[in-house]
Amino acid sequence: ELSSEVAKQQLPVRFRGVVTATLHSFVRGAVIQDSTRGVFVSFQNADLAEPMKRGELYEVEGVTSPGDFAPVVIARRIRHLGTGKLPDPIRPVWNQLFSGALDTEYVELEGVVVAARDQEIDMLAADGEITLILDEFQPEQLAGYENALVRIRGCAFALFNTQTRELNADSVRILGGAIEVVQPPPSDLFAVPQKKIGDLLLYDPNAAVLRFLKVHGQIIYSGKHEYFLTDGTNGIRVAVRNPNKCNFNVGELVDVVGFLDCGGPTLGLKKAIMRKTGRAPLPAPTTLPSENLLSRNYAGKLVKLSGRVINSWRDASEYTLELQSGFVGFKARLPGHQGVLPVLRIGSLLELTGVYVPQSSSPQDRNVNGFELLMHSPGCIRVLANPPWWTLKRALYTVGILVVLLLGVLVWNKELRRQVQERSRRLENEIRKRERVELQHAAEMERSRIARDLHDELGAGLTAISLLASVGIPNLKNGETMHNRFIAIAEKARALVEALDVIVWAVDPKRDSLQSFADYVASYAKEFLDASGIVCRLKIPIECDGVTLSGPVRHGLFLAVKEALNNIIRHAAANEVELVISLVSNRLEIAIKDNGRGFDWNLIRPGEGLGNLRDRLASLGGECLINSQLGHGTAVKLVVPLDETSSNQK
- Whole-angstrom Cα distance, residue 372 to residue 335? 13
- Whole-angstrom Cα distance, residue 41 to residue 21? 10
Q: Same domain, yes or no, for 363 and 459? A: no
pLDDT tens, residue by residue, 150-184: 999 999 988 887 777 788 878 899 988 899 999 99
In a domain, 220, yes or no: no
In a domain, 271, yes or no: no
Q: Give the confidence band of 442 by pLDDT, cuts at 50, 70, 90.
A: low
What is the residue range of 453's domain? Answer: 388-510
Q: Same domain, yes or no, for 337 and 433? A: no
pLDDT of residue 276 exceeding 90, the answer is yes
Contact status, residue 21 vs residue 175, Cβ threshold 8 Å:
yes
- Whole-angstrom Cα distance, residue 361 to residue 351? 26
| Higher-scoring residue by pLDDT: 485, 537 | 537
Neighbours of 142 (CB within 10 A): 20
Q: Same domain, yes or no, for 640 and 552? A: yes
In a domain, 610, yes or no: yes
Neighbours of 283 (CB within 10 A): 14
Average of per-residue pLDDT values in the chain: 85
Among the candidates 344, 370, 387, a domain finishes at: 387
Contact status, residue 126 vs residue 166, Cβ threshold 8 Å:
no
**Residue type at position 176:** G
What pLDDT is attached to residue 649?
A: 44
pLDDT tens, residue by residue, 307-362: 999 999 988 788 999 999 988 999 999 988 777 778 888 889 999 999 999 986 56
What pLDDT is attached to residue 159?
A: 86
Q: Give the confidence band of 267 by pLDDT, cuts at 50, 70, 90.
A: confident
Among the candidates 329, 352, 387, a domain finishes at: 387
Angle between helices 480-507 and 551-567 (to 10 degrees): 140
Residue 539 CB-half CA count within 13 A: 11
Q: Same domain, yes or no, for 501 and 581? A: no
Q: Same domain, yes or no, for 529 and 500? A: no
Residue 608, domain CATH: 3.30.565.10
What pLDDT is attached to residue 631?
A: 85
Q: Give the confidence band of 390 by pLDDT, cuts at 50, 70, 90.
A: confident
Provide the 8-state DSSP code for 194: B
What pLDDT is attached to residue 170?
A: 83
- Whole-angstrom Cα distance, residue 586 to residue 617? 16
Among the candidates 510, 539, 572, a domain finishes at: 510
Q: Same domain, yes or no, for 9 and 131? A: no
What pLDDT is attached to residue 559?
A: 86
Q: Give the confidence band of 24 by pLDDT, cuts at 50, 70, 90.
A: low
From the number of C-beta atoms within 10 Å of its C-beta (0-12, 13-18, 19+), residue 372 rates as middle
pLDDT tens, residue by residue, 495-547: 666 666 766 676 666 777 888 888 888 888 888 888 888 999 998 876 666 78
**Which of the residue ranges 77-81, 329-333, 423-427, 514-518 would you say has the lowest mean pLDDT?**
514-518
In a domain, 226, yes or no: no
pLDDT of residue 650 exceeding 50, the answer is no
- Whole-angstrom Cα distance, residue 87 to residue 81? 16
| Higher-scoring residue by pLDDT: 635, 7 | 635
Percentage of the chain lying above the pLDDT 90 cut: 43
**Residue type at position 648:** N
In a domain, 287, yes or no: no
Q: Same domain, yes or no, for 551 and 473? A: no
Neighbours of 270 (CB within 10 A): 19
What pLDDT is attached to residue 648?
A: 45
Q: Same domain, yes or no, for 144 and 71? A: no
Q: What is the mean pLDDT of residues 3-8?
A: 83
Q: Same domain, yes or no, for 571 and 489? A: no
In a domain, 577, yes or no: yes
| Residue-wise burial string across 477-511, b where 16 or more C-beta atoms lie within 10 A, e elsewhere | eeeeeeeeebeebbeebbebbeebebbbbbbbbeb
From the number of C-beta atoms within 10 Å of its C-beta (0-12, 13-18, 19+), residue 299 rates as buried
Q: Same domain, yes or no, for 493 and 567? A: no
Terminal Cα-to-Cα distance of the chain (whole angstroms): 99
- Cα angle 132, 138, 144 (rounded to 5 degrees) comes to 80
Residue 11, domain CATH: 2.40.50.140
In a domain, 190, yes or no: no
- Whole-angstrom Cα distance, residue 638 to residue 565? 13
- Whole-angstrom Cα distance, residue 198 to residue 196? 5
Q: Same domain, yes or no, for 516 and 644? A: yes
Q: Same domain, yes or no, for 410 and 486? A: yes
In a domain, 155, yes or no: yes
Number of domains, the chain:
5
In which element (H, E) is residue 521 found?
helix 514-530
CA 617 centroid distance within chain = 61
pLDDT of residue 645 exceeding 50, the answer is no
Radius of gyration of the CA atoms of the chain, in A: 59
